[in-house]
Structure 1
């Protein structure tokens, strides 16, 4: 019985650190954001860091989370989640690059793999303490000693704390190791660590009041001021410490910050943050988005003004297409989406946008091209639910009912609605040739069994 109990506890410890965040993402509980411009910028921030860290060949995917708090995390070696709050609060590229460098330190240092082992060991300590405490309580009860019984109960109640503190201590060590690794990466890529230090300084100021009452040994991350003090001396030794941020990256950073703010804020808030008196490109971008969101008639004119200032910016054409599409004119949206795609022919989100506009134009002659574009998009980004839904419409309007059902089933799989996906896949199978690639894909969905996290625990 004891061996079985230990096995269960160890299984929990090994699954939990890796299951909590990624599982919620897989179930769609994390509100994710897709934006080609922001993702391209983050990729350019990360590329040199990944290279010097030795993980360029298995480049992790950077995923945006629609959360305005300043946070980032890595659930495994393949994915790095960054809240939009990082981009909204960071004033310079260096602050974001510092966050990426820190999270890269966790990946390159294989901290998540070792954390599983540490978690298992911590739980074993807790189990042993619980057994000893339970024994003391039983002995006290048998002897009729209230004092012994009380001591035993205290041991049982404190057992979890013993293991937990052991694990948290391990995590604090890994956080410090990731900080040091980030410093090495920044130095190796000839970048200043001032941005990373500014992030820690911000965190320290936020913790100024709460840390008065916090137990630093019960924190999984070192207190921000301690991290700041520990890195400042080493960072200042670097000959790149006073190196300024790349002005092109700063320009792109300002645009992305304005874009995210405008898309996630009420138009009136955007106009307060970026008033008409502000003539910067970022402010013009934000106001154009605010106008689009408020269904203003002048939105397209404002975007056209942006395009005139930078006619080779694909994201301005993307925004114009989006404004026309959401304004109920998908046929006119085709041209700007096509223009955006001409600059970045392999960008899956541009492929989806153009396919969406072609389908929405309600012209049967456009449907074969829409189908080709959407399939290309899915090949490059198999997690696009919009691509699958538009592909299903394109198939349906061409009389391809089984293919439409299969595309719908795939889209439902992406969204996590497995039961509905199975129904559509089963319906598609009835009209597909048995053994064909499409039939086998439908069969895979029908046969799919989602992981039972509760059972695994």
Structure 2
């Protein structure tokens, strides 16, 4: 499930033209064999408790093969200066993140999609469309800080754990429905409604909260790496300009640009910046 931890603010997997879509990468990870663990853990970066049913180490192993696959199926840019630029900014961000045992690698994909993604273990993909959008290295640092924040926030394992827990809950509910005197059609209607409730009421808001958390973590990384965090506002203004046709926020896995800008502005003021 890890690839959904990207910057993609309004995800359209079916629009991928060159190689693997984000959904295909997600499914590639999901088909791996996962051994569930039990318990909660306090994240050192965020200080909050997280449900952890999936071990990070397992996701790192699965991500390694997914990373190879996407590089084989998606064209990469030939311009070494472009790759070096992303790598240089990414390494400066990674250096202040204090993430242990990550094998950072950066690749630029030759695709006009305005997006980036990260896999557990430090594999970061940036699409050329996003590089064409950013105006300076500070805005690029915002993108890479966000992606690095997903790793330190342990968002991949947390989201997979949340999904597993939701599926278990749905299974229990369906068993309960099967024991009622309702008709089969009524049971199916209720089960479908429960599924929509889980999707829009639990999993999507949960995903949006992770995206917001990665934004805030990324601000700190930008500042500590010597970049201007205020450029995050300009980045999301440009994102909004580039993405006019967007779904309502409650139907999206990512916050709207307006929501992100408001939260980033509030955080910047807490950090002492005039916005």
TM-score, normalization: structure 2? 0.69
> Which whole-Å CA distance do the structure 1 matches of 2:110 and 2:29 have between them?
28
Instruction: Please give the residue correspondences for 1:136-147 in structure 2 after superposition, counting only pairs within 5 Å.
Output: 136=180, 139-141=181-183
Residue 252 of structure 2 is matched in structure 1 by: 219
Asked which structure has the greater CA Rg, the reply is 1
Residue 230 of structure 1 is matched in structure 2 by: 263
> Which whole-Å CA distance do the structure 2 matches of 1:116 and 1:152 have between them?
27
Find the partner of 1:113 among 157, 160, 163: 157
CA RMSD of superposed structures (Å): 3.0
Deviation of 1:111 (Å): 1.1
Find the partner of 1:31 among 75, 87, 90: 75
Residue 132 of structure 2 is matched in structure 1 by: 88
Residue 169 of structure 1 is matched in structure 2 by: 205
Residue 30 of structure 2 is matched in structure 1 by: 15
| SS class of match (1:210) | coil
Gaps of 5+ in 2: 1-26, 33-58
> Which whole-Å CA distance do the structure 2 matches of 1:26 and 1:225 have between them?
35
Deviation of 1:236 (Å): 4.3
Structure holding more strand per residue: 2
Is 1:111–1:174's contact at 8 Å kept on the other side of the alignment?
A: yes
> Which whole-Å CA distance do the structure 1 matches of 2:96 and 2:260 have between them?
23
> Which whole-Å CA distance do the structure 1 matches of 2:121 and 2:98 have between them?
12
Gaps of 5+ in 1: 1-11, 142-148, 243-457
Is 1:58–1:78's contact at 8 Å kept on the other side of the alignment?
A: yes
Q: Cα 1:76–1:63, aligned 2, differ >3 Å: closer, same or farther?
A: same
> Which whole-Å CA distance do the structure 1 matches of 2:136 and 2:274 have between them?
15
Instruction: Please give the residue correspondences for 1:246-325 in structure 2 after superposition, counting only pairs within 5 Å.
Output: none
Residue correspondences, number = 219
| SS class of match (1:64) | strand
Q: Cα 1:54–1:120, aligned 2, differ >3 Å: closer, same or farther?
A: same
Residue 90 of structure 2 is matched in structure 1 by: 46
Is 1:65–1:84's contact at 8 Å kept on the other side of the alignment?
A: yes
Q: Cα 1:67–1:227, aligned 2, differ >3 Å: closer, same or farther?
A: same
> Which whole-Å CA distance do the structure 2 matches of 1:16 and 1:178 have between them?
26
Deviations 1:284-340 (CA, angstroms, capped at 9, x unpaired): xxxxxxxxxxxxxxxxxxxxxxxxxxxxxxxxxxxxxxxxxxxxxxxxxxxxxxxxx
> Which whole-Å CA distance do the structure 1 matches of 2:142 and 2:232 have between them?
4
Residue 309 of structure 1 is matched in structure 2 by: none
Instruction: Please give the residue correspondences for 1:40-439 in structure 2 after superposition, counting only pairs within 5 Å.
Output: 40-55=84-99, 58-136=102-180, 139-141=181-183, 150-165=185-200, 166-211=202-247, 214=248, 216-236=249-269, 238=271
| SS class of match (1:32) | coil
Structure holding more helix per residue: 1
Q: Cα 1:56–1:150, aligned 2, differ >3 Å: closer, same or farther?
A: closer
> Which whole-Å CA distance do the structure 2 matches of 1:209 and 1:36 have between them?
33
> Which whole-Å CA distance do the structure 1 matches of 2:78 and 2:120 have between them?
20
Comparing 17-26 with 194-203, greater Cα deviation is found at 17-26
Q: Cα 1:21–1:61, aligned 2, differ >3 Å: closer, same or farther?
A: closer
TM-score, normalization: structure 1? 0.43
